[in-house]
Amino acid sequence: MAKRAPEPVAVPSPSPFVRGFPLLVFVVSFLAFAPALSQGFAPLDDDYNFYYQTYWAGLSGAHVEWMFTTSHLGHWQPLSWLSLALDYARTGCPPLPQGTPYGAKALLDQHEVAQAMHQSNLALHALGAVFLYFALRRLLALAFQIDRREPLIATAAFLGALLHAVHPLRVESVAWATERRDVLSGMFLCGALAAWLVARDGGGFKWTALSVLAFALSLASKAWGMTFPVVLLLLEIYPLRQLRPGSNVRVGAVLGRALPYFGLAVLGAGAAAWAQGESAAIVKWEEHGLLQRCAQAAWGLVFYVGKTLWPVDLSPMYLLERELDPARPLYLVSFALVAAAVGACAWLWSRKPGIVVAIALYALVVSPVLGFLQSGAQKTADRYTYLAAMPLAALAAAGLVWLARRRAALVWLGALPVPVLFALSWQQTQIWGDPIVLWQRVVAVEPDNYFGQHNLAAQFQLRAIASRDPAERGELLRQAIEHDELSVTAHPLRGNEPARHNLGVLYNLTGAPDRAEAAWRDCVTAVPDFVPCLEELRRVLLARGDREGLKRLFDEAFAALPPNLPARKLYAETLAQQGDRQGAERVWREGLAADRGWAAGWYGLGELLLAQEKLPEAEEALRAALAADGRLVDAWVALGRVLRAARRIEDAEACWRNALMLAPNHPVATALLQKSRAEGPARN
């Protein structure tokens, strides 16, 4: 007699409480960072992104073209720029003035544009947490081979998503307007993962297409999700169990499914490499070698896990040492812990493959930001965990399922940390609302952080300038001086020139001009080509009428760092302003003798010769300037003036048109071209 097929096990319909998990995830993830809703821009790149350039502030064709072609501050993120422009547009803020950061700031503050951006940041983060919840449900169901509709699976996914979403390590990405790219790209990436899992569960081509589209949108928001195709292959190993030994699945079929993602990842990586290459913040390999980068990466792997487990003493800026010593105990211990983790994974592979895959996913996702392609002065950053900590949240959720299979109520152990993490995130978010408090946190965590000390001094200085109370102003300036002095002490050499320069400015403001001059001279001694301090000393010496002292200052700067082209440029311009054209020409030519490709030198010499009506020599110098740098707008303008003086009108107008192609609103080129065209009939 044939055996009857077993009756399918009925899965109970989810309760209203379980059905409400996605909404709860959204609301709690949003509210954890609610203090940001009333905050303005942060004094950490927000000014460079939103005040000093205004190409982002609009939705015209020119604005959108800029968004898709810029590498501003080392990122290709057109979709993030577009989303920020939409926030700007919905506030009704009028067009921002270009080149006047204080005017731009006033308009943005008046129309609460920062608050609009924060609203979107919180909503995008919360939506990403919802997508993460749905992805975790399917991953846990696959790992434990339980129906995803089981309340246990839904509850563990709910808690896992919250543990990730309300963690204080998320604050930097959520509460900082500049990091729109994190929450937007993270939301799309979580959506891509959730859709891919539906597709792998028989959802069909439309879900695959939706996943690929979401991945493309993530890369267009920020390229750090470029490891996603490898993430999918690791998930094919576990929990999908498709690429494990003994399975009947063809490897080619699995790779074929991942091919569109790999193609997009290559494009995203190329865009990221181009943008980083355009950034001046890239740290050269000669300065920071392979062993130093390996030590930094090992520390990062340990640091992020440690801060995930114990999120205290978080800082907006962890400074990279100027001379990283891989033999320091900190790095040796990090190497040892990473080696131990690798050994543990090898031992666990046949026993607990899920743990190994989660650890591998963490290391893989965080790898692009571990410092091998170091950009900027930060050694680690809380925001770098935004994607990388998701596998750790999945591991925590799996641990809850494992406990609950022994006693169901134990799944709610995962709820215990949530209020604590929520409170810590609320507190950490408040730090971003006050510039002084933000930088005070930085120097409290790292007292020798020269970058933080200088920025804290700058905030005290700004507060002092705005104060109308003489006593308060004096106290604020005193604190500014104290922190700039700490900054200079922590880093007295090249790389910290702004603190030295500002220290002199502060001494001047407090009525100590001798100390100001001494601070600027100390700066020039340490960094002979730092123009702002040279300009301050030039102003002091000219006010005294000390021309001999001025000559001695620049001669010493040239001798300390030959050929010192920035200092030569300043000195030549100074001599020309004083009427010493012969001396200015000598300084220009000495610099050009040392570097024939010095575009600014050829331009300066050309302007000087034009002023003396030496037209053939001026033309030769200006053409040399443009040969060295064809983007030198003022050289095109000056060359046009030379050619016009030589009555070569058509050639002159061509030069001014070239200038306007590079700088469409250049006032001098515009005026000269209009005047030349108006005179056209008279010439004929």
pLDDT at 11 over 60: no
For the chain, give the mean pLDDT: 92
pLDDT at 660 over 90: yes
C-alpha 86/C-alpha 80 separation (Å) is 10
Inter-helix orientation angle 417-431/435-445, to 10°: 120
Contact between 540 and 517 under an 8 Å Cβ cutoff? The reply is: yes
Neighbours of 678 (CB within 10 A): 9
pLDDT at 682 over 80: no
Instruction: Please give the C-alpha separations between residue 498 and each of 379, 459, 484, 566, in angstroms, as whole numbers.
Output: 21, 14, 9, 16
pLDDT at 426 over 70: yes
pLDDT at 497 over 60: yes
pLDDT at 243 over 90: no
Q: Is 6 left (phi over 0), alpha (psi -120 to 50) or beta?
A: beta
- Residues paired with residue 318 on neighbouring β-strands, in sequence order: 380
Residue whose C-alpha is closest to residue 184's, from 229, 118, 223, 128:
128
Tell the residue number behind the tokens 């309300």, with chain if given.
Answer: 166
C-alpha 516/C-alpha 138 separation (Å) is 65
Instruction: Please give the C-alpha separations between residue 357 and each of 17, 234, 350, in angstroms, as whole numbers.
Output: 31, 7, 12
Provide mean pLDDT across the span 332-351.
95
Specify if 572 maps to a domain.
no
pLDDT at 502 over 60: yes
For the CA atoms of 133, 139, 144, 149, the dihedral, rounded to the nearest 10 degrees, stands at 50
Tens of pLDDT, residue by residue over 184-231, are 999 999 999 999 999 998 888 999 999 999 999 999 999 989 999 999
Q: Give residue 182's pLDDT.
A: 96
C-alpha 300/C-alpha 296 separation (Å) is 6
Specify if 511 maps to a domain.
no
Tens of pLDDT, residue by residue over 21-62, are 999 999 999 999 999 999 999 988 899 999 999 999 999 999
Specify if 423 maps to a domain.
yes
pLDDT at 279 over 70: no
pLDDT at 281 over 80: no
Specify if 454 maps to a domain.
no
Residue whose C-alpha is closest to residue 85's, from 54, 44, 123, 41:
54
Amino acid at 106: A
Residue 112's contacts (CB-CB under 8 Å, 6 or more residues apart) are 91
C-alpha 242/C-alpha 493 separation (Å) is 56
DSSP, residue by residue, 250-311? -HHHHHHHHHHHHHHHHHHHHHHHHHHHH-TTBPPTTTS-HHHHHHHHHHHHHHHHHHHHS-
Residue 29's contacts (CB-CB under 8 Å, 6 or more residues apart) are 125, 126, 129, 130, 161, 162, 165, 166
pLDDT at 147 over 50: yes
Provide mean pLDDT across the span 527-556.
94
Tens of pLDDT, residue by residue over 435-470, are 999 999 999 999 999 999 999 999 999 999 999 999
Tokens matching residue 460: 């005290």
Tens of pLDDT, residue by residue over 359-382, are 999 999 999 888 877 777 889 999
Q: Give residue 684's pLDDT.
A: 41
Q: Give residue 15's pLDDT.
A: 77
Specify if 401 maps to a domain.
yes
Total domains in the fold of the chain? 1
- Helices of type H across 199-250: 205-221, 228-237
Q: Give residue 287's pLDDT.
A: 74
Instruction: Please give the C-alpha separations between residue 21 and each of 153, 272, 679, in angstroms, as whole numbers.
Output: 12, 36, 75
- pLDDT band for 677, please (50, 70, 90 cuts): confident
Neighbours of 249 (CB within 10 A): 13
Specify if 457 maps to a domain.
no
Tens of pLDDT, residue by residue over 63-118, are 999 999 999 888 999 999 999 999 999 999 999 988 889 999 999 999 999 999 99
Residue 404 belongs to domain spanning: 17-430
Q: Give residue 2's pLDDT.
A: 47
C-alpha 523/C-alpha 167 separation (Å) is 43
**Out of 142-146, 458-462, 486-490, 663-667, least confident range:** 663-667
pLDDT at 580 over 50: yes
pLDDT at 283 over 80: no
Q: Give residue 5's pLDDT.
A: 46
Specify if 498 maps to a domain.
no
Strands 318-319, 378-380: parallel, antiparallel or unpaired by DSSP?
antiparallel
- Confidence (pTM): 0.88
Contact between 165 and 190 under an 8 Å Cβ cutoff? The reply is: no
Q: What percent of the chain has pLDDT over 90?
A: 82
Q: Give residue 7's pLDDT.
A: 52
Contact between 669 and 663 under an 8 Å Cβ cutoff? The reply is: yes
Specify if 675 maps to a domain.
no
Q: Give residue 160's pLDDT.
A: 97
pLDDT at 250 over 60: yes
